[in-house]
Structure 1
Amino acid sequence: MNTSSSADYIPFDVSQYERQITLSNLELTILSNRSYRSDWCYLQSEIPRLMRPLIDLATHSGVSMRLAIISVAAILWNISKTGKPYWLWTESQWLTLLSSKAGSRPYLASVAYHLGGFRVPQRLDKFRHPATYASFIFGHEVFRHEHVRLSRALRSLGYAALHLEQFLSSVLGTLMLENGDPRLETFTEELLLKGQQHRSEGVARSIGKVSHGLAAMGILSKPIRMRGYISWREKSIEGIDPAWVMWCRRWRDTSTLRPHTRESNYSFLLRTGLWLKREQPDTAAPIDWSMSTCAAFIAAVDRMTVGEWALKSAKGTNFKGLGQPIAANSKRSFLHALRRFFTDFELWGWGRLKFSPRYHLATPRSVTFNSGINPRVIDDSTWLKLIWASLNLERNDLLSEIHYPLSMVQALAVIWTHAGLRSNEIMRLDKECAHLQTNDVVHEDGTITPAGSLCYLDIPASKTFKPFVKPVAITVKKYIDAWLKDRPINQAALFDERTGRKVSYLFQFRGKRIGSGVINGTIIPILCAKAGVPLEDSRGRITSHRGRASAVTALASVPQGMSLIELMQWSGHSSPNSTLHYIRVRPTKLAASFIKADQMANMVSILIDHDVIARHSDEPYTFYDLGDSYCSNPFWSSCPHRMACAGCDFNLPKASARAQALESKSSIGRYLEAVPLTPDERAIAEGDLEKLKGLIHKLDNVPTLDGRTPIEIGIKNQGN
């Protein structure tokens, strides 16, 4: 970023002055007279050794003559009182003078800073306006010049002038005083980190904002975090054996897992230490674990409740569902962390275990069955409304005066509803990620998708996939381009922790990338309010990842949708098994498939003799295939005795010569006919023998087509 150069700052040089350790008799006499102490002309001529540094410093700092005269008089009076020149005063003497109401405190602080060796005006009890003190100590012109430079840089990043007025002067003055040099080029990352320590969160965030301006000016290589985090908050080890803590810390210091994962596993290990201390006090080191210890631990985890084995450092945490059994995923994570610890312990040569972590700490099948990925697609009606809302956002739809521009919110919303990305991938998109389709796409069936119909999105590397390119709707590029017109251009590239490279993020504002909670906490509530839908649907709260699952499922559910492999590549999965978790068959599609299958289940094969039909003969021409026989009754589908055909005159056994002759005729056509089943027949088809016997007895006295009842047919057959 092009900025004006640093101010031509010349530090106040005290080496040019004669600073003896004693006062002359003339100086003591003059200073003891009150009337002389206010006569500057007389003092300059009679005691120049004392007056010249004070007058030059007044000129250097830019203090008014009125304040300078009052302040110098206060200094001279204290010289006569102490009998020492002011450059020999102790810190307590300076604090006493600065705590009084005599003179201008900022000017007196500048004298103490340059001539008295007291360089920490922040120690004053009434230190309220660091910008004022910095202006007097380093000069008003220098402070104003550096303030304008930094303000211009921050405004180019998107900060409003009114917002800068609330914090910039104070923070800049504080940093100048702690640095001992007002020039921005002398500010370092160490200075800013030190400035964040032991201060309120508001001040720490303000210093973080200053770092973004310095990074944009090229003074810092990268901005610091908004909050003064030095490291992860150290977790409590109270109630844990020191030997177990030592091994846990050694693993944490050696592991190459990502910081968040490493700290999460470290927490699991410490909580395991709580269980060991209570239930297995003799087990303090990994080599003390046995197969029985593993079995006891798995049983304890399986019965674990929310809030159990909580570290003291987690005190005050609002545990959701306190006292209830922990989720299956939590159980699996607990066991996975311990398996990883023991595997690394043995792999790194720290000792030999008495068991196999892979087998003796394996996740129980019951836990595995109830855990896993469950994206929970958003209800179709709700999802379609959210898509509409993302395409029609207006300024009055914003729920609050958020500092993100409207075009940025619109681009975020459209990418979430149309690109099927993880929230982390959306956050890490490069500002040059969208590319227009420049060539026609020729499909296998010969159809053509003309150029400009879609765009390609460069997706950054994720936890499962390397960087790749995916096609998305042209609407996505339209909203990205609109945001790029408003995006501040002078933002320094930021360090990407996953790739180790500097990236100019698409969604970067005021010098920093959007937070991880923007989509769930800002975008989704705005879209729900716009669409007139609640924040929850039938499957729970609407989240960023559920939107991703809905986008993938929609592509798989439409007619001629994408194949599993295509969806895997589009979603950025390394395995089709991962993609299957995100695909849910819609209930309507499942119902249509069921109806079709259910109709096929009630189909009966039927033979039709077209030769008989052509001859207009009275012979039967319709034969229903009953498995072992055929029924020549053309109304078999409505016959009440169709489940008990043996002995009926219309029944034609397949083993008979007539049936075999029928099957060999060239005029026979085979067809399927849908036959509705009664409740009794459906139960029989499902294998209920009692229903079959009951149906037979129920039809004993029902006449068949030839007028006889089944009982009469049975008696006749017995007689024969």
Structure 2
Amino acid sequence: MTAAVRAVGKTEAMPPGWTFPLSLERYDQRGELTDAECRALRELGPKALRRNRARGIPRRTATHWTALARLVEPLDTARAGLHHGDDTRFRRAGAHAAAIILQNCVDTSRSYWAWTTEDWAQLCGSSAEAFVAARELPTETTVRPFLLALAYLLGGFDDFQLLGTFNRLHLARFVFGAGIVEESMRQASAVLDQWGYRGAASGKHRLRGVFSQALLINRSPRLEDLDTAAFERLRAHPATGDHHGEMLYALQRAVAALGHCDPPVRTGHHAPGIEGTATAWAGWVEPWHDTSTLTPRVRAAVRTIMAKAGRWLVAEHPEITEPGQWTRQTCAAWVAAVDRMNVGDYVQRRDHLHARAGTPISPRTKAHNLMATRTFFRDCQEWEWIGRRFDPARALAVPRSVSALIGTNPRVIADEVWAKLLWAGLNLDQDHLPGNSADTYYPMELIRAITLTWLFSGLRSDELSRLRVGCVRWQHNGQSIAADSPDVLAEDAVCLLDVPVHKTGTAFTKPVDPLLGQAIEAWQALRPPQPTTLDRKTSEQVDMLFAVRAQPVAKNYINRTIIPALCAKAGVPSSDVRGNITSHRARSTIATQLYNAKEPMTLFELQAWLGHRTPTATQHYAKISPNTLSKAYTEAGYFARNVRTIEVLLDRDAVTSGAAAAGQPWQHYDLGHGWCSYSFFEQCQHRMACARCDFYTPKDSSKAQLLEASGNLQRMLASIPLTDDERAAVDDGHTAVTALLDRLADVPTPAGPTPRELGTPATVTLLPIVQVRPGKP
């Protein structure tokens, strides 16, 4: 126990020797009414009963009241033991309650000693309004609490679920006294307040009603009497509904911290029994489930799949009822059945399938079914429950046609959407949380710390929820420093986050953004002292960082609350083309951004930061982003490498006058050192090493100068595809040009003769490389 809890235990103790205020053993509890009792009740009637009972203790000399002494005396004693003020209104309400009980004895022809729970519930009414409406004489609502108290004391009535909504704290004060009830509640509330149950001492908190009902059902106001067995009875009691379970759990933790009972143990929902299979098959599956060391979730999944296999056996192979009867042929038939299986086949419940029923199961589901079957048979063989008739790894392997359809798909969130979520997380406040409640279940500092941890740490949800107190450390130049060290600027400090044992490896440390460290330390400064919690992976009692009210934050809190709030604040949908935005998608997004940064992490650095056991797992996350890939593609110059753009001059006069049809050149290609008027220039093999043919006009000639000075020319660009030799000439320079000239020495030019026949040295000037202009011809 913590020091604060021990201090609570030293407060004012309960009055010693408290006992129940009414001893019923000394009364005559016969269920039948005597003739004298019946006659007295009938002759008095409802009005006389109310009038005389309102005076307090009746005159014992009256004939009618003397006949009713067996019934009246316990009522008077019970009324006298109730704790209420001296106001006349209270005395009158108590007398009316006693009169109602006596009148009901006439109506039922039985004494109240013989009444059942239903009789008392009907008399008290299902609500205060129903109680008043059922009375023939005018009755105030203040009478009902007295009637409930008398039913509790005389009839042992505690089936409060039959009475609707009523003030259980008021009833507990009536029966036990306000002082002793408040002292018990104060001790429990002090422990819960310390753990972060804000407002536990306030009348608005549900704890007061649950606590009062627990005292009433246990028939004692003392915390010492709420032992482990008492809490077991409380949980089994019909008045303890599902909505009381969480508060009853918290109450038991507080009473256990004070040393009066054992701590509560959370029990998961028990899976329903296996139906639809052979009895012998279920008799094998259940022992495997109880023996396997896999996690409860995985064991439950394998149990479900093997129950499905048992139903398949009943339908297709009824002669096989035990795992030891499976052969290689049975495995092949099961693999084929899984490959053709639809949603809803061989299941025990179908109410949750809806529109999915009848659709083929996904390839990943097929693989999971076969993996579960392999696990089951492998364990049965390893434990020597059955003989080794086949190898599960081979006989129940996933078919290649199925495995080829399965691939890793880290669903990265788009950069613009992720940027908006980051902004929303940095500016999150209470107004953006679901319900816009000013009094959220978790403190706002805890919510901010969880949000920034999700946005900046790249942790799995299980790792995040299991972070421990003190998981943030600060360093500068390899030396540990305090977060608020005046010698180191905030931007120069390195924040290190200690990650606990996780899915694939042991604990490790990673650097994170200082904003994350500051948010965690802000929460640690305000975090209420909490009892240690069992780490389900390491079986250690540890101080969970994200814990309040003696409970760690649930793993699904991020998906259920944080992400919807961030999406609403950022104005982005909670899903995209890749599915819903979930907690694990942040891990994929951060890893991808680190891998595609301007100064990216290497694969091995990213592996260490993510905590992966092997680089293979990291490769699933290290995806090249479309922006990075586009930039690399553009810089590679694929189109520009294969196509060059040159300038072309069109002589419009030659075209319009008809001279072009007579053979006059009208199209001139700019070769840099001259012009080529060959119409099929793109097909000419000499265009990169132009010979002095009739179609060529040097730029330094008078003809070329007249051509450029003409005002009827239209300039345009033309894309010319390059052959391999021409591309080498452009890219590699003089050596490739020389080789190209030698190869073309005997190739005819557009004018007819070859370069060798022209007898003119083949002078070469490379075409200018002009940037490709998309959309231009």
User: Which amino acid letter does the alignment assign opposite residue 472 of structure 1?
Assistant: V
Instruction: Kindly provide the CA deviation profile for residues 424-454 of structure 1, in whole angstroms up to 9, marking residues without a partner as x.
Output: 1111112332222265469xxxxx9988612
Aligned mate of 2:91, from 49, 65, 72: 65
Corresponding position of 2:19? 11
Among 508, 513, 531, which residue is 2:547 paired with? 508
Equivalent position amino acid for 1:568 in 2: Q
Structure 2 distance, partners of 1:377, 1:457, is: 23
Deviation of the 1:49 alpha carbon: 9.9
- The AA in structure 1 aligned to 2:592 is T
1:203 correspondence with 2:241: no
Aligned equivalent of 1:300? 337
Task: Determine if the alignment matches structure 1 residue 418 to structure 2 residue 456.
Answer: yes
How far residue 473 of structure 1 moved from its aligned partner, in angstroms, is: 1.3
Which secondary structure does the structure 2 equivalent of 1:458 belong to?
strand
Q: Displacement, 1:584?
A: 0.8
- Paired position in structure 2 for 1:716: none
DSSP 3-state at the match of 1:243: helix
Shifted more, 358-367 versus 378-387: the winner is: 378-387
Q: Which amino acid aligns with 1:434?
A: V
Which of 672, 682, 685 aligns to 1:641? It is 685
Per-residue CA deviations over 1:452-471 (Å, capped at 9, x if unaligned) read: 61222221221212222222
- Kindly indicate whether residue 328 of structure 2 is the aligned counterpart of residue 291 of structure 1: yes
* Contact persistence 1:643–1:681 (CA under 8 A): no
Equivalence for 1:718: none
Q: Matches of 1:154 and 1:189 in 2, distance apart?
A: 18
Deviation at 1:343, TM superposition (A): 0.6
Q: Deviations over 1:554-576 (max 9, x none)?
A: 22222443333332222122222
Q: CA deviation at 1:121?
A: 3.0
TM-fit CA distance, 1:200: 4.5
User: 1:693 is matched with which residue?
Assistant: none
The match for 1:678 among 708, 718, 721 is 721
Contact in 2 for aligned 1:212/1:510 (Cα 8 Å): no
1:41-52 to 2 correspondence within 5 Å? none
For 1:581, what is the secondary structure of its paired residue? Answer: helix
Render the CA deviation track for 1:125-165: whole Å, top value 9, x for unaligned. 54653444433333333333334444455455244479962
Counterpart CA distance in 2 for 1:587 and 1:85 is 85
Query: C-alpha displacement at 1:263, in angstroms?
Result: 0.5
- Residue pairs, 1:355-504, within 5 angstroms: 355-401=390-436, 403=440, 404-437=442-475, 440=478, 453-487=493-527, 489-504=528-543
- Secondary structure of residue in 2 paired with 1:495: strand
1:492-525 deviations in Å (ceiling 9; x for gaps): 3333322223333222233322223221232222
Aligned length: 623
Contact 2:20 2:220 in 1 (8 A): no
- CA shift in 2, pair 1:495/1:294, >3 Å: same
Give 1:357 shift: 0.5
8 Å contact kept, 1:332–1:363: yes
> Is residue 57–residue 76 contact of structure 2 (8 Å, CA) maintained in 1?
no
Is the 1:95–1:124 contact (alpha carbons within 8 Å) kept by the matching residues of 2? no
Give the 3 Å change call, closer, same or farther, for CA 409–76 of structure 1 in structure 2: closer
Q: What's the secondary structure of 1:400's corresponding residue? A: helix
The equivalent of 2:620 in structure 1 is 581
Contact kept? 1:131, 1:174, Cα under 8 Å: yes
Asked if the contact 1:417–1:547 (Cα under 8 Å) also holds between the matched residues in 2, the reply is: yes
Q: Could you tell me the percent identity over the aligned residues?
A: 31
Task: Find the aligned partners of 1:682 and 1:345 in 2 and give their Cα distance.
Answer: 68
Shift of 1:207: 3.1
For 1:164 and 1:232, how far apart are their aligned partners in 2?
35
The answer for the alignment partner of 2:706 in structure 1 is: none
Q: What aligned pairs does 1:311-322 form with structure 2 within 5 A after superposition?
A: 311=348, 314-318=349-353, 321-322=356-357
- Judged with a 3 Å threshold, the aligned counterparts in structure 2 of structure 1 residues 274 and 710 are, in CA distance, closer, same or farther, namely farther
Where does residue 343 of structure 1 map in the other structure? 378
Once residues 181 and 536 of structure 1 are traced to their aligned partners in structure 2, the CA distance between those partners, rounded to angstroms, is 54
Task: Tell me, in whole angstroms, the C-alpha distance in 2 between the residues paired with 1:366 and 1:429.
Answer: 41
Pairs within 5 Å for 1:594-673: 594-595=633-634, 641=685
Runs of at least 5 residues in structure 2 that lack an aligned partner in the other structure:
85-89, 125-134, 481-486, 643-672, 675-681, 693-718, 729-743, 759-777
User: Residue 325 in 1 paired to residue 360 in 2?
Assistant: yes
| Local SS of the residue matching 2:436 | coil
Instruction: Say whether the 8 Å CA contact 1:195–1:204 is kept in structure 2.
Output: no
Per-residue deviation, 1:477:
1.5
Q: Which residue matches 2:762?
A: none
Is contact 1:211-1:220 (8 Å) kept? yes
Alpha carbons of structure 1 residues 218 and 78: separation in structure 2 relative to 1, 3 Å:
same
Q: Does 1:267 align with 2:267?
A: no
Displacement, 1:597? Answer: 5.3
Q: Structure 1 pair 406/16, CA: closer, same or farther in 2 (3 Å)?
A: closer
In structure 1, the residue corresponding to 2:567 is in which secondary structure? Answer: helix
User: 2:753: which partner in 1?
Assistant: 708
Deviations 1:564-620 (A, max 9, x none): 3332222122222111111111223233444555679969xxxxxxxxxxxxxxxxx
Cα distance in 1 between the residues matched to 2:345 and 2:726: 51
Cα 1:710–1:269 change in 2 (3 A) is farther
**Counterpart residue number, 2:773:** none
Q: Which residue pairs with 2:661 in the alignment?
A: none
CA–CA distance in 1 between the matches of 2:364 and 2:118? Answer: 63
Matched residue type, 2:244: V
Structure 1: which 5+ runs fail to align?
A: 443-447, 604-633, 650-675, 686-698, 714-720
Equivalents in 1 of 2:104, 2:393: separation in Å? 79
Please say if 1:99 is aligned against 2:123.
yes
Q: CA-to-partner distance for each residue in 1:213-233, whole Å, 9 max, x for gaps?
A: 5466666664565xxx65323
Contact 2:289 2:300 in 1 (8 A): yes
Aligned to 1:90: 114
Structure 1, residues 239-269: CA drift from partner, whole Å, max 9, x if none?
A: x222222211121121121111110111111
Report deviation, 1:318.
3.7
CA–CA distance in 1 between the matches of 2:398 and 2:211? 55
Distance 1:366 1:29 in 2: 87
Q: Secondary structure at the match of 1:175?
A: helix
Pairwise CA distance, 1:81: 11
The counterpart of 2:369, out of the listed 334, 341, 347, is: 334
Query: Residues 341, 53 of structure 1: CA spacing in aligned structure 2 closer, same or farther, 3 A cutoff?
Result: same
Question: Does 1:246 find its partner at 2:283?
Answer: yes
Indicate conservation of the 8 Å contact 2:120/2:151, yes or no.
Answer: no
- Kept in 2, the 8 Å contact 1:6–1:184? The answer is no
After superposing the two structures, state which structure 1 stretch, 363-372 or 153-162, moved more.
153-162
